[in-house]
Structure 1
């Protein structure tokens, strides 16, 4: 049973990354090597399959440990950790992220699987937690948007080398530059 579920998830991810919500259940069934009726029994609709698969991926790949990072006493290190972590995850999952952004821009995603919304809301909550622990009043929406812009730029604008392929030092240098830029406006 577990093997079939794993094949469906892997097959669906592969097909959805290529075609987004335009993919058909026939294509997913073929990729997963299952009967199309199996998909309908388990998920009833293509949209339910898409939501289930994407939620699974978002929870596994984009699970936020931002509240742990928020406990960092130094704001610059906290920001650096967030920037480095998110850029690394986004670049490792580049094709999936681009598909989710495309579907989001088309208005096809609910907030539970809307990647920009998930990223923004988790950033804002993490920033609120960090500055609350420090006893500072800060416009967390503004800074979450700044961070979101940084992340979006790495997905949309071409880079010489993906962030996850950079050296550890290069990653830290980039994260530090962005963190300093944000800190200068706090």
Structure 2
């Protein structure tokens, strides 16, 4: 059985995915199976609830493995692993990510839960770490933007199949193509 916080988070995610910040605490309470007063006691405002829930999800689902991946000596393999990892996570959480991008474009998200900023800053840290270890001078900002463009294209542009539903070989082939493309510009 779920504890009350988990119940609230699950209900809130469900409502926020469907309605973004427009979702009401009444809808969240109903979805979570708790009294609306419980939400107010715990979070005081809908905005606090949204921030708390989204921050929890981002830390849990989008916790960056980029620095671990950045230890790879082979730059092409490093880029392939980042691309595969991020596309896998983004595609598995497609609806949530689309909602967060939408709310971000509306200016409704703080830096703590701004998904594009979180992705971009973690990419830059990983790239800086990797290229410093190799002693290479690379335009980190440009490289991170290229990677960000790859990720956004898989979220926004139509795909025949979600990345996480492709075979392992198909994922590797896609990651390799993008890695080679990025490598050719650095």
Fold agreement, TM-score > 0.5: yes
1:162 Cα deviation (Å)? 0.3
Deviations 1:131-185 (A, max 9, x none): 0010111110000000000000000001000000000000000000000000001
Offset of 1:19 from its aligned partner? 0.2
Runs of 4+ deviating beyond 2 Å: none
Aligned counterpart, 2:7: 7
Q: Deviations over 1:46-75 (max 9, x none)?
A: 000000000010011100011110000000
- C-alpha deviation, 1:105, in angstroms: 0.2
Aligned-partner Cα distance in 2 for 1:21–1:100: 10
Name the CA distance, whole Å, in 2 between partners of 1:65 and 1:148: 16
Say what the alpha-carbon RMSD is for the aligned residues. Answer: 1.0
1:72 pairs with 2:72: yes
CA distance in structure 2 between the aligned counterparts of 1:95 and 1:49, rounded to whole angstroms: 19
Matches of residues 117-132 of structure 1 in structure 2 within 5 Å? 117-132=117-132
Alpha-carbon separation, structure 1, partners of 2:143 and 2:112: 22
- 1:83 corresponds in structure 2 to 83
Which residue pairs with 1:39 in the alignment? 39
Could you list the runs of 5+ residues in structure 1 that have no partner in the other structure?
none
1:142 and 1:130 map into 2 onto residues whose CA distance is 15
How much has 1:5 moved relative to structure 2? 0.5
State the TM-score, normalizing by the size of structure 2: 0.99
Residues 29-178 of structure 1 correspond to what in structure 2 (within 5 A)? Answer: 29-178=29-178
